[in-house]
Structure 1
Amino acid sequence: MAWDNVQPNMGRYGALWVAPQTAFGTPATVPTHALRVRSYMPPLQQFIRTTDEYADKSMEQKFERIQGSQIDNRSVTIELTPRDLALLLTSTLGESVVPGGATTGTITPKTGDFAVYAPGVPLTVWQLHPGGNIVASDVQIMGIQIDIPPRGNVTATLTLGVTKIGDLGSVPTAPTISQEVLQYRHFYAKYDGVTLKPEGGQINLTFPMSVVDAAQGLLADDRALNPLGWERSGPRVARIQFTTAGTPAALRTGYGVTDPANLKPAEAGFKLPSPSTKQIAVKLTTGQVKGHDPSNGLDRFTTQHAIEAVSLDGLPPFTVDIPA
C-alpha cells in the first residue's frame, strides 16, 4: 500500500522525480529526471476549514467544514545538477521541453503563456515519502532560488504551484540520478563585461502567479476543492546577488547610475571544469545595481551586491544560455 512505507532504520528515505507535460491537464506517465532532494514538500493536502458558529446553549466543539484544499505555494530544496537546471529553467521560462533532455541555446522568456491556466510548462511530480507516496500534476514553478555557498555544493529551492495531489499507486521506474553536481567553484559573475570574482551568491528567478479557483461557485467533482490552474500576476524578475572582497570599481560605478540609458549588462552562471566546455548563464540585458552593502567592522571587508534585470522597452530583460 502507498501508505505502508515507514520501516524502522530506513535511513535517508524517499525520492523526488519530475517530468515535463506536453499539455496542461495531461499528466506525464513516466518520470524523466530524478532530483537530488534535500527537503520535500508536505505529502498531504492541507484542507481549508471553517468552524460552524451558531448558538445552541453549548460550549462543545463545533464541526469544521472543508472549504477547499490549500496545496499551492509549496517548496522543495534540491542539490543542483546541470541537467536538472536545464529542465527547470526551460519549464519556468515557458519553453517547450524535450522529455529526457532540454532545449539548448539561448532562451528568451515567452511573453505569452504555455496554455490557459499554465503560464509555464507544467510538470508532473512524483514524491516518495514516509508520510505517503504522492503524485502531483500541472505543477508550475513560481520561483527558483539558487544558493551558491563558498566551498559547497549548489542548492536550489523551488517554489511550486500545485493544483492537485493524489496518492501514488504503483511506483514508476526511477530515472537515473545525475552525478554531475554544480559546485561553488563553477560559479562566476560579471557586470559590464568585467569578471567580479564572487565569493558566494544567489541567483533568483521569480514568476508571480495567482491561483484560479476551481469551484467557481459550483458544486462540482473533487476538483472543486483544488485550484483549477494559475495566471500571471506580476512581472518576472531575474536577480543576481553575490559577495566580493571589497567593492570592484565597475560595481561602484554601476551603483551610482541614475540615467536608464547608462545601465549595463550583467550575468551570472556556471562554467564546468575542463575538459567540459558547458556553461549555463543568466544574462541580464539591462542590469540595475540595486544593492551595495559593504561590511563596516574591523574584520575582513566584503561587500554584498544585488543586480536586477530591468526592462526599458517592455520586452523580457534577461535571457538564459542552456548547454546541450
Structure 2
Amino acid sequence: MSQSVAVWHGVNLASERLGAKALYANDDFFAPKERMLQDSDPVFIAGKYDENGKWMDGWETRRKREQGYDYCVVQLAVSGRINKVEIDTRHFTGNYAPAAMLEACRCSSMPTEETQWTAITDTVALEGNSQKWVDIASNEVYTHVRLNIYPDGGVARLRVYGQPEVEWQGLEGQAVDLFAMAVGGHAIEANDEHFGSKHNLNLPGRGINMGDGWETRRRREPGNDWVILALGHRGEIDEVIIDTAYFKGNFADACSIQVADVGALPETTLAAQSLYWQELLPKSKLGADQEHRFREALAKVGPITHLRVNIFPDGGISRIRVIGKPVF
C-alpha cells in the first residue's frame, strides 16, 4: 500500500481555480499570461504550433532586442501571507527566463503606476525545465504579486503558497465550509492516492471529471482506506457533505468520520493518533455520482480541528465539505 505524506506549503494563492487572475503583462507574444496560473502540471505537445510560433504551456514573451525586462501582474485569489513561491520552467529549455524576482503589494483595486511594490524575493537564477522554490520571510498580507523576468523568456507555472487572510471574527455564529481551501483547510495525509490526489477534496465547485477527486487503488487485502484533514479554523460541525461526482463504478461504498481537537500538534504525528479519535459519523452507505448530506447522523462532539475520513473498502470521493461555525 503506497502512502503519501506531502509537505503542505499553504494554499496556492495564485490558483486559477480559486480565482486568481493574470491582470497585465507587458508582453505575452508566444504564450498568454493566463496559462501560467493553471493548476494542472505543464505539458509539452510536440509539433503543436499556433500563429505566433511553437505552442507552449505557460507564459512566454518574445526575444527582447532592447534594454529592460518583462513582467506580469497577478491578482491573488484571496489575500494572504506568503511563505513560499514556486517558479516552474518545465518544458522551457532554450527559451526559459534566466532569472526572476517577485514583488507584492496590498491594494483594493487594480495596481497602477503609483502602486508601491515590495520585493519579497531576491533576483534568483532559473534553469530550464526545472522547478525553483523560494522561501519568503514576511508576515505582511498581500493582494497582488508582480513576477519580473530578466530579460525575457518563458515560465510554465507560478505558484504562490501562503495562508489566506480570513476575518474570522466577522464570521462568528455563521455556518461556513471550514475545510474550504480558501480559508486554509487542507488534506494532511492519506494512506493511498493511486488514482487521485487528496488535495482535490476541497477544491472549489464540484468535480469536473473522475480525475478531479481522491481515488485509491483497488484494495486486495483486508482493511480500508483513509485521509486526514485539517480545518482552516477550529469549529463546531453542523453538516458534512461527501460528494462522489463522476465516481460510478468506483465510488467509495461507505464512509465514517472520526474527529479531534488537537490544536498545534505536529501534523506528522496525527496519523497514528487518529486511530483513537472520537466518532463524528458512524459507517454510512454512499452511492455513485451524488452528494451525500449528513446532519442528523452526526454526533455532538464539540469543537474540532481535524477529521479522519475512512472509506470502505476503497474507491473515490470527489469533494468533502465540512459546514460549521468557527469557535474562538
If asked which structure has higher relative contact order (CA below 8 Å, sep 6+), I would say 2
TM-score above 0.5: no
Q: Give the TM-score normalised by the residue count of structure 1.
A: 0.23
